[in-house]
Amino acid sequence: MSGEAAEPPRRRRRSSTAELGQSSTVMLPAMTLRIGDHVQAALAAGSAVVALESTIITHGLPRPHNVEVARQAEDQVRAAGAVPATVGVLDGQAVVGLTPAEVERLGCDDAAVKCSIRDLATAVVRRQSGGTTVAATAYLAHQAGITVFPTGGLGGVHRGAASTFDESADLVALSALPVVMVSAGVKSILDTGATLERLETLNVTVLGYQTDAFPGFYIADSGFPVPARADDPAEIAATARARDALGISSAVLVTRPVPTEHQLDPALHDRVLTEALAAAEQQGVHGHDVTPFLLDYFHTATQGASEATNVQIYLGNVALGAEIAKALTA
């Protein structure tokens, strides 16, 4: 054996993304995340930008109402002096700032999938198109540098979760993303009390906008109080700035109740909810199929009144989101 030191074993060099694409049977898109030119320009200028979800386009509303409402939401943001950034997935590419043509295309796509955070990677590899959920929209908005994101109703803890462990990924996203989200509380088909407990555990700041009651989505008052109240967008923006200054990485959830003139009749709501839960149990509906089943049951049983309320909730939250975004950039 010679006296020379043995050559250390060579570390295997990690392949670059380009090399992986060349050697793999699956070619990834050149960019897995695209930020629209108008969004990039607004962010660079320090303008107010509002992220908008797309599951309301792909899975939430019927055609052609889905695209009409998406356009209304963007128009509301612009009218308030902010820039809309509708988020979605097109042909395996996540997009923050869909063009009007892309919004319409997504709204007419029968094959569009529902993308939560866990589904984004597979959608990219399979080159799928899809609508982004609350969780995925918040995640992609944060990646793009957008803070404010309004939605209709937040996902939460499902009824019976003590045995099923069925809990929306929205809550986990809110615990890890320093966004400001506007919603009408959680969908009333969920366990509101348990959801509020989880939000507390996950360190999510919950504010009631001009209310002391936690909203119940289709109805203005869920019967539960909010931990804190904020009466104007400037106060909400100040809360978000204080969170950031403290180094807290979770969301500020702003809950805005549906105006009482637009809410479902509470007695009708309670009756239909009871019927819908019984029907889901009888038909063996479980997991991610529960929410669309119950919402569809509401739509049928209320003869479309729940859909009209849903749209009023969403557009009102979008308007508030635009005002908060402006306050954050003031």
CA gap 320, 150 in Å, rounded = 8
Q: Is 8 helix (H, G, I), strand (E, B) or coil?
A: coil
CA gap 116, 99 in Å, rounded = 21
In whole angstroms, what separates CA 219 from the centre of its chain? Answer: 20
Count Cβ neighbours within 10 Å for each residue of 83-107 and write b for 16 or more, e otherwise.
bbbbbbbbebbbbbbbeeebbbbbb
Is 180:148 a contact under the CB 8 Å cutoff?
yes
Q: Is beta strand 113-115 parallel, antiparallel or unpaired with respect to 180-183?
A: unpaired
Catalytic residue status for 326: no
Q: Is 89 helix (H, G, I), strand (E, B) or coil?
A: strand
Task: Provide the CB-side half-sphere exposure for 222 (13 A, CA).
Answer: 28
For residue 209, which of 65, 317, 130 has the smallest C-alpha distance? 317
Tokens of 48: 């107010």
Tokens of 71: 């356009």
Which of 53, 74, 307, 323 is catalytic? The answer is: 53
DSSP string, 45-76: TT--EEEE-SHIIIIIS-TTHHHHHHHHHHHH
Catalytic residue status for 187: yes
Cα angle 183-221-253, degrees, rounded to a multiple of 5: 25
Which of 114, 167, 187, 323 is catalytic? The answer is: 187
Residues recognised as catalytic: 53, 187
